[in-house]
Amino acid sequence: MLNDIQAPALPYRFDMSGKADLLDKINPDAIVEEIKKRLMGMDINRRTMRWEFKNSLKDKSVSDVCANDMATLILSVSNRNVSISKLKDIEIRKRAYNIMISAIKMLITNWGNYKITNTAQIDYVAEIVFSLAFITMKQSEGEGIRKMVVGSRQETHVSTDTDTQTKRGMFGRRRNG
């Protein structure tokens, strides 16, 4: 009778593909690409679902070179490696601030090539760069995403261990039959 008792099965199975799916969802390229297009004065046409230049945004828009350079700055911290890092608040604030300062220096130095025509553009772009860098790195504060990924890995091991144990009787003894 004791040999017939089995550990209860888990109500769901969470395998390693869950971890891979989670890491795949940490993909900043889409938002960075959207910001790049918007910096160039483009907006998405809801009918055609294509990006189009808007004349109403031309006063704020920058060149494609500028948008690409700003996107590169943002991508230096907006990636999977940073997302699963363990960063402290002070590290995040210093890094985001330094990225913004670099952006401002680049905007001033390359103003002609970047199509900077007024100081408001510099503030506008700097705020976008700082905000995205800051918010992206804040996700990794206190190992938030890292703990989620590690947690999914641990659930996989628990599920696998339970499957192995169901082939054994109570106290880990092999069942006959």
Q: Any idea where the domains of the chain sit in the sequence?
A: 18-27+62-159
| pLDDT on residue 80 | 66
pLDDT tens, position by position, 107-156: 999 999 999 999 999 999 999 999 998 988 887 665 555 555 555 545 44
Q: What value does the mean pLDDT take over residues 65-75? A: 94
Q: What value does the mean pLDDT take over residues 58-80? A: 90
E strand map for the chain: 42-45, 50-53
Considering the entire predicted model, what is its pTM?
Answer: 0.66
Q: What is the mean pLDDT of the chain?
A: 76
Top-confidence residue, 151 or 82: 82
Q: 65 pLDDT exceeds 80?
A: yes
